Structure 1
Amino acid sequence: MNDSAVNVRFVLASASPARLKTLRGAGVEPEVIVSGVDEDHITAESPGELARLLATLKARAVVASLTEHATVLGCDSVLELDGEPYGKPGTPEVARERLRSMRGRSGVLHTGHCLIDTNSKQELRELESTEVYFADLTDEEIDAYVATGEPLVVAGSFTVDGLGGPFVTGIQGDYHNVVGVSLPLLRRMLAEVGISWPALWRSATPFAYDESEAARYDDTRGGAERAKAAALAVHSLLPKGGRVLELAVGTGIVGAELVALGNLVHGVDLSSAMLRRARVRLPGHVAAADAAKLPIADRRCDAVVAVWFLHLLEDSDAALAEIARVLRPDGVFVTTTDKSDAGRYADGRGPNDTRAQDAITHLVARAAHHGLTLDGATTFPGPPRNTDQTPIYPLVRFRRT
């Protein structure tokens, strides 16, 4: 059992927001890669086999696009009513007709699951089926529900976790399977390829950037212009010619600029999607790692850099302890501070949920606890906003005593 794996690359081959929400609710933050499989022209001998086949095709399509090892989950759901398969209706007319035929009756929601683990070269294909009982909807309720648009984009024209919930009177089987992914089944499948469910908890972070976010990250964060400004400011606070470790290296856009200024930069990040881009800019110098558990021996770094990272954390103490551990005596930690709470990426967190870990007063106190003393600061400009003002970002330096 691979219980010690802390960096399982777990990919969800589905665009379903309900599946993603279900996994996140269970403590798993998958990387999302949409397969692009055309579901409309695929047939099978039964609705259940159709769901399993579609899940398999989705998983295989995503695996074919990968250049690194991963564990990929493909899912697809099909409602069976009178022996016939019902996927997404697509149009209001079809949705309305289906809901009228379903009211007061029951159907079977089949969800196919295909798990492909490229490390062990295993492909598992399973099916979970759940009986669903529908209320005797009125025509007015059906018309109102169809008008919301929800039933047009879900298998069987209904949801149990959304607006359609009041119209489902009961289920017999796994609730999560009706939403789109059976968590108990997935747990068993992962165990078969040597991955324990808690290993996915350890891999998950509340700010794990998926493929779509990574693809647009640079453009939405000021691009090369902002990266150069940030790198110049960081460089002014760094020791000359030392070994620099960049935490949350992201796409490597700032790290590459630091290299161009003469620094030896290594980077770590938890997002596989971001690291794929960083490896192009910093070939051979980036790795998957948690800032709270760095794979680096004591006192090996001359400097540690964190640009827009601390504000993502719920508690910075573990990261600060690791920074202090890997820095040599007199080494420096350079970081941005006081990023606007309104710009925090962390999913589901409001600005007042916890103290911002990059607030300068908080940071100075916690850094001092780990032997890091504030001894320098500068600023750099950000990209212009929709106003006449250009944002100015503060950057501070702590020295390891």
Structure 2
Amino acid sequence: MDDAAVNPAVEEKRRPRFVLASASPARLQTLRDAGVEPEVIVSGVDEDHVTAESPGELARTLATLKARAVVATLDDHATVLGCDSVLEFDGVAYGKPGTADVARERLRSMRGRSGILHTGHCVFDTATRRELRELASTTVHFADLTDDEIDAYVETGEPLVVAGSFTVDGLGGPFVTGIEGDYHNVVGVSLPLLRRMLAEIGIPWPALWQQAAPFKYDDAEAARYDETRGGTERAQAAAAAVQSLLPVGGRVVELAVGTGIVAAELVALGNLVHGVDLSTAMLRHAKVRLPGHVLAADATQLPFADYRCDAVVAVWLLHLLDDSDPVLAEVARVLRPGGVFITTTEKSETSRYAAGRTPADHRSQDALPHLIARAAQYGLALDGATTFPGPPKGTVPPATYPLIRFRRSLS
């Protein structure tokens, strides 16, 4: 394929793959509230056996270890954020207490006094091999809690699993009388600091907003999506058909992975599958089925390097598009020479209308003649086809679905 066939505007706007190397729900929610939907990969670093010369340096060291541990597991470029928080009190580092007795003792020593919450931040960008290590520190003033308040708080379990035995954004909020510094840093990630760190490696903060943009489905629609689309039975049929057209081994990327129901069946058949989707509601389900292998991304701006994928799969995607060319161009870019693109085709106008969508006012983007002609512009030639059965009788879509395979040219 001629490299000039790839749209340069798409290349310039490709979104960064942003990974959060932390299991903290508070950090994830803070990023989500700021318009960022990161891919979460837990580092597995054993925090209990790491030491440093000061509480602040301990937080920064742990953040770095987390980021590096996740980077070591990646097989594609990404920008990874590692964070860790430590409360410094009387020069001592307080991490997670782990037990009720320790939490109770700490809270009693902290009441009516102040401590410093340190959060270490490590941003590792694999494309540039740059690693930035920073520390944000915020002074926290605690209320003069009664013994009864401390006992009741400890019984909730919350202080046992958070640094310093308290939260400012949860049940512990009423026990914090004030802070000096960045509020979000106390929650677990300093957004202003992270913005500056990302800017230093060439990633503007608004570029991450696009990853979190909602698409079509809300949480309720995503929750019932599988059962309204034929459930596991149809997903297994679709996966078996895709499997018959896949090369043996290699990396498979599913576009518009949705809840991951088809991708999970492909994994069960022995494939390594990565999924991308624009809908954060759908991705919450997909992440359960494909932990560590899904991310928010646009099919026209995939976060993969050139020629890195052996197969790209799109089941029930192209009929939703107004223009399939940007997707075909991007598929051609990421496919290795000889790699394959497998997609459903020929979504009928009747099905569009029954699904609540207006009939197409131009040629359907998954019509076979249209796809063959457009795909050829990007070095993709039709070389295989099969079908698979639709949902049970009585539902709207046709009884069988055509599935076709394009192969990328060797040049």
For the aligned pair, the TM-score class normalised by the smaller chain equals 0.5 to 0.7
Q: Secondary structure at the match of 1:160?
A: coil
Task: Assess, with a 3 A threshold, how the Cα gap between structure 1 residues 35 and 361 changes in structure 2: closer, same or farther.
Answer: closer
Partner of 1:117: 125
Task: Assess, with a 3 A threshold, how the Cα gap between structure 1 residues 395 and 76 changes in structure 2: closer, same or farther.
Answer: same
Task: Assess, with a 3 A threshold, how the Cα gap between structure 1 residues 393 and 12 changes in structure 2: closer, same or farther.
Answer: farther
2-side partners of 1:166 and 1:288: how far apart? 35
Alignment pair present for 1:368 and 2:378: no
Alignment pair present for 1:100 and 2:108: yes
Alignment pair present for 1:332 and 2:346: yes
Q: Secondary structure at the match of 2:206?
A: helix
Counterpart selection for 2:276 from 265, 269, 281: 269
Letter in structure 2 aligned against 1:23: L
Q: Secondary structure at the match of 1:56?
A: helix
2-side partners of 1:306 and 1:203: how far apart? 21
Contact 1:129 1:177 in 2 (8 A): yes
Alignment pair present for 1:395 and 2:397: yes
Shift of 1:41: 1.3
Q: Secondary structure at the match of 1:34?
A: coil
Task: Assess, with a 3 A threshold, how the Cα gap between structure 1 residues 113 and 231 changes in structure 2: closer, same or farther.
Answer: closer
Partner of 1:179: 187
Letter in structure 2 aligned against 1:368: A
Q: Map residues 2-401 of structure 1 onto 2, 5 A cutoff.
A: 4-206=12-214, 226-230=234-238, 247-249=255-257, 253=262, 269-270=276-277, 290-291=298-299, 306-307=315-316, 319-323=320-324, 332-333=346-347, 360=354, 362-363=356-357, 365=358, 367-369=359-361, 372=364, 380-381=390-391, 394-395=396-397
Shift of 1:360: 3.1
Letter in structure 2 aligned against 1:332: E
Percent identity between the two aligned chains: 66
Contact 1:305 1:335 in 2 (8 A): no
1-side partners of 2:350 and 2:100: how far apart? 50
Instruction: Deviation per CA, 1:338-368: give whole Å up to 9, x if none.
Output: xxxxxxxxxxxxxxxxxxxx893522x2x43
Contact 2:323 2:365 in 1 (8 A): no
Contact 1:294 1:322 in 2 (8 A): no
2-side partners of 1:38 and 1:193: how far apart? 28
Task: Assess, with a 3 A threshold, how the Cα gap between structure 1 residues 254 and 15 changes in structure 2: closer, same or farther.
Answer: closer
Shift of 1:6: 3.1
Letter in structure 1 aligned against 2:347: F
Contact 2:239 2:262 in 1 (8 A): no
Shift of 1:148: 0.3
Higher relative contact order structure (alpha carbons within 8 Å, sequence separation ≥ 6): 2
2-side partners of 1:374 and 1:192: how far apart? 42
Contact 1:306 1:336 in 2 (8 A): no
Task: Assess, with a 3 A threshold, how the Cα gap between structure 1 residues 224 and 182 changes in structure 2: closer, same or farther.
Answer: same
Task: Assess, with a 3 A threshold, how the Cα gap between structure 1 residues 362 and 116 changes in structure 2: closer, same or farther.
Answer: same
1-side partners of 2:326 and 2:52: how far apart? 58
Shift of 1:77: 0.1
Instruction: Deviation per CA, 1:82-134: give whole Å up to 9, x if none.
Output: 11100000000000010011111110000000000010110000000000011
1-side partners of 2:350 and 2:113: how far apart? 59
Shift of 1:153: 0.2
Letter in structure 1 aligned against 2:390: F
Shift of 1:321: 1.4
Contact 2:347 2:366 in 1 (8 A): no
2-side partners of 1:256 and 1:270: how far apart? 17
Contact 1:335 1:395 in 2 (8 A): no
CA RMSD of aligned residues (A): 4.6
Question: Runs of 5+ in structure 1 lacking a partner?
Answer: 208-217, 235-244, 261-266, 279-286, 296-303, 311-315, 338-357, 383-390
Instruction: Deviation per CA, 1:19-48: give whole Å up to 9, x if none.
Output: 000001111111111111000111111100
TM-score, structure 2 as length reference: 0.63
Contact 1:233 1:395 in 2 (8 A): no
